[in-house]
């Protein structure tokens, strides 16, 4: 089995990834019973497991076994968890520093694509004049599917209502190009929906500047923060973002397919009662029982009175076991601050870049072995470096990395994405990774 080396005490991570519970991309050298350390550089796809997660999940299971349905309303002694009906709210509080928002602007629910659909149902309101959605040319496929299907759902033509911003030759989309696109389509655009970090290139967008520019032109602004939440500092409230969505299984380490979260600016979460009104007024949304205010939720009435804030956008009773896993993962972040994690990430990623560039410059031949797609400017990237290999190298390099106990992912046609996550990656791990990569590229170690 493999054992993760990336496990400092601050992160309190489990260390075992075995052939039964995930295989860690296979067994070292293909031998059963091997017990070798591995290097985990794929936290941008699935974060490593914090030890706290097991304790929190066990606590949830114990509550369920001990008191059953009463777990919804009972705080158990010696448990790290609150009662189940308050778990989502508790996780929202613990997420505030990660995304730069007030707890009441955060709701933990569903999965990322479902949340994109729910929030677009509320925020994408096309009419005869404003109907376009501005997006990037090649977002993560689920985002493209969600956007395109929303356009079609409204009876519109994706060819006319989807504005795709293409990158320059180096795979980067400059901020100036995004701003120009906004200006060009401002009069007929209803929504701008971009990723905080582009999954393929690792580019971190200037969210503050882009948001302000679009909103000044009357455009609703949403962000997919799948690769940004828990990775870089965010200020969603201060930037006046309308809504955002993110998963929690990458940099937040809540587990595969873990429950997701969303941000709704407080100005869109108001619930108001006019004098003498029988119904409250609030922003239209697809409503469900668990979005109802707790004070009247169990009256079992047909009058929907949403919770104030982002919680009013919740539709269903969230899974307590999923929330327990997320709560455990977030307890690790409570031991530090995003500001401090970002500071380490900047240096850690710069060190990885330095070693990569030295390797590239040492190689001989008419064509470089690889080039780094991710921007060289540290302020335009998170912890990920996307390395585009020379044509024909990807499969052999990926196989060599795997055989030497290195776990990172590949994206065709020729990219390996290297993610030194500051919460659990050491500088020693980066150096060791690069020595394995040197051998995979045929360079002398």
Question: Of 290, 295, 297, which Cα lies nearest the Cα of 312?
Answer: 290
Angle formed by the axes of helices 141-153 and 112-123, nearest 10°: 30
- 133 DSSP assignment: E
Q: Is 112 annotated as a binding residue?
A: yes
Q: Is 205 annotated as a binding residue?
A: no
Q: Is 21 annotated as a binding residue?
A: no
Q: Is 249 annotated as a binding residue?
A: yes
In three-state secondary structure terms, 171 is: coil
Q: Is 44 annotated as a binding residue?
A: no
Q: Is 142 annotated as a binding residue?
A: yes
- The answer to whether 158 and 169 have CB atoms below 8 angstroms apart is no
Nearby residues of 188 by Cβ (< 8 Å), 6 or more positions away: 129, 130, 131, 132
- Which phi and psi (to 5°) does residue 34 adopt? -60, 145
Q: Is 224 annotated as a binding residue?
A: yes
Q: In the beta sheet, which residues pair with residue 419?
A: 42
Q: Is 113 annotated as a binding residue?
A: yes
401: tokens are: 């990395």
Q: Is 317 annotated as a binding residue?
A: yes
Provide Rg for the chain, Cα atoms: 23
Q: Is 424 annotated as a binding residue?
A: no
Distance of CA 11 to the CA centre of its chain: 18
Distance CA 350, CA 301 (A): 57
Q: Is 343 annotated as a binding residue?
A: no
- CA torsion through residues 38, 39, 45, 50, sign: positive
Annotated binding-site residues read 112-113, 140-143, 224, 227, 249, 289, 317
Annotated binding-site positions for pyridoxal 5'-phosphate: 112-113, 140-143, 224, 227, 249, 289, 317
């Amino acid at each position: 089995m493999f054992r993760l080396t990336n496990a400092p005490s601050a992160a309190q991570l489990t260390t075992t990834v075995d052939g039964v519970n995930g295989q860690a991309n296979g067994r070292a050298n293909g031998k059963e019973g091997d017990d070798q350390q591995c290097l985990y550089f794929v936290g941008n796809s699935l974060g490593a497991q914090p030890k706290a997660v097991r304790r929190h999940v066990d606590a949830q299971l114990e509550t369920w076994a001990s008191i059953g349905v009463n777990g919804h309303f009972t705080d158990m002694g010696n448990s790290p968890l609150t009662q189940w009906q308050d778990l989502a709210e508790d996780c929202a509080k613990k997420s505030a520093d990660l995304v730069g928002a007030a707890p009441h602007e955060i709701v933990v629910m569903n999965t990322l694509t479902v949340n994109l659909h729910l929030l677009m149902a509320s925020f994408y309101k096309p009419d005869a004049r404003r109907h376009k959605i501005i997006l990037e040319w090649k977002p993560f496929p689920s985002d493209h599917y969600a956007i395109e299907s929303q356009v079609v759902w409204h009876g519109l033509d994706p060819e006319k209502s989807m504005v795709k911003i293409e990158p320059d030759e180096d795979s980067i989309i400059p901020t100036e190009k995004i701003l120009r696109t906004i200006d060009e389509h401002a009069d007929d655009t209803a929504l701008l929906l971009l990723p905080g970090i582009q999954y393929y290139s690792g580019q971190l967008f200037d969210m503050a500047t882009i948001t302000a520019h679009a909103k000044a032109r009357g455009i609703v602004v949403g962000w997919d923060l799948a690769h940004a939440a828990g990775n870089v500092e965010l200020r969603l409230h201060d930037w006046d973002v309308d809504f955002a969505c993110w998963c929690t299984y990458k940099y937040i380490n809540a587990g595969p397919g873990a429950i997701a979260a969303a941000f709704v600016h407080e100005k869109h979460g108001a619930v108001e009662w006019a004098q003498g009104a029988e119904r409250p007024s609030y922003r239209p949304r697809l409503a469900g029982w668990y979005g109802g205010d707790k004070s009247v939720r169990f009256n079992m009435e047909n009058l929907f009175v949403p919770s104030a804030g982002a919680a009013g956008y919740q539709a269903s009773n969230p899974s307590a076991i999923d929330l327990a896993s997320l709560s455990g993962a977030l307890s690790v972040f409570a031991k530090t601050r995003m500001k401090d994690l970002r500071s380490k990430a900047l240096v850690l990623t710069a060190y990885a870049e330095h070693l990569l560039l030295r390797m590239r410059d040492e190689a001989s031949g008419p064509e470089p072995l690889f080039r780094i797609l991710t921007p060289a400017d540290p302020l335009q990237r998170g912890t990920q470096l996307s390395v585009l290999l020379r044509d024909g190298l990807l499969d052999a390099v990926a196989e060599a990395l795997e055989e030497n106990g290195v776990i990172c992912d590949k994206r065709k046609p020729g990219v390996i994405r290297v993610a030194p996550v500051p919460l659990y990656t050491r500088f020693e791990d980066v150096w060791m990774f690069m020595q394995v990569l040197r051998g995979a590229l045929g360079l002398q170690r």
